[in-house]
Amino acid sequence: MAKKQSKKKARSAPRLLKWLTLLFAFGLVFWLGFGFYQDYKLDHATPMDEVVHNEPSIGDIIAPIVEQPTKPATEETFTLVFEDKLPEPIRRQENKPSVHADRHQIALIIDDVGYDMKALRRLLALPFPLTVSILPDAPYAKQTAQAAFQHGVPVMLHMPMQTSNPKYTNKMEDFYLYSAMSKSVFTQVFEDALAKVPHAIGVNNHMGSALTADKRSMQWLMELCAKHGLFFIDSRTSSASVAAKTAEKQGIAWNSRDIFLDNSVATKALNHTWQSALSCANKYDTCVMLAHPHQETISFLEESIKSKFYPRFIPIESALR
């Protein structure tokens, strides 16, 4: 009996050794394979600073004022369409003494900001003063305001206002100011909009050819500006605007638009309006110029600083009256 048990033990020992050897070999293969996989992942990893964020283009979102021209896909661009024919700016006395040391100054405001963070980064990288005016219901309104503030760039509220153009009246939303509003509703809409744009120090109108012509509405608006210590810039989308006059009468620091840089983003048109801005600054000391964060506009501004006709840019606060 003892002999049988010893024979069984003798036969089971090689089997156990065989299984242990196979188990060890399997573990070794798994370990080597896992290490190779980790090295592969590291070699093919995308660095964090190369991550591409598919942020929306401003032209895809601000539908009420932007139309896509009928061009081939390779020449795709956006053309700004205003509510009506833009009026001439309010002209100052030509021989008015300058309050600044240098002439040929431009105060540049970039409107419709808050949709495209890539465009914002390019704007903040420009080596001259500018101001960003942010739409309150833009998806990145607060982030844009915070980023601009941290870079020392003045922030404004780009307040949407009622238009007189029937083509766009049905595209206005609840965050627009209307002349038919009661004072309490008007005030609440403005306060809500201002709360969405932190660090705002001034206001200018988005559209507004109807509202800026309404004396009562402008009176209410300037009272709100006075309450919050805000200045006002009249975008002058209508020759009937009384916004600037009302601001002046109420003792609000103000100015009004002289030039829209990018009525069209075609290179020839941008060059033409740029020359108009230089002439304006030369003649009236300071020119208030509005533009938009189109890719073509930003590229044009990036190139313009290389020109020998590069003017002196100043913050909008330095151009107030």
Question: What are 230-269's pLDDT values in tens digits?
Answer: 999 999 999 999 999 999 999 999 999 999 999 999 999 9
- What is residue 107's predicted lDDT score, i.e. its pLDDT? 97
Contact call for residues 316 and 136 (beta carbons, < 8 A): no
* Residues of the chain where predicted confidence (pLDDT) is lower than 70: 1-103, 308
Q: Which pair of structure tokens corresponds to residue 33?
A: 């394979």
- What is residue 206's predicted lDDT score, i.e. its pLDDT? 96
- What is residue 259's predicted lDDT score, i.e. its pLDDT? 96
Contact call for residues 59 and 294 (beta carbons, < 8 A): yes
Q: Which pair of structure tokens corresponds to residue 209?
A: 């050819």
pLDDT in tens, 9-40: 555 556 666 666 666 666 655 555 544 444 44
Please report, for residues 156, 160, 161, 194, 296, the alpha-carbon distance to residue 141 in angstroms, rounded to integers and kept in the order given: 11, 14, 18, 11, 22
Smallest CA-to-CA distance from 193 within 222, 159, 224 is with 159
- What is residue 194's predicted lDDT score, i.e. its pLDDT? 98
- What is residue 27's predicted lDDT score, i.e. its pLDDT? 62
**What sign results for the dihedral spanned by CA atoms 248, 194, 88, 181?**
negative
| Element at 247 (helix H, strand E) | helix 243-249
- What is residue 172's predicted lDDT score, i.e. its pLDDT? 80
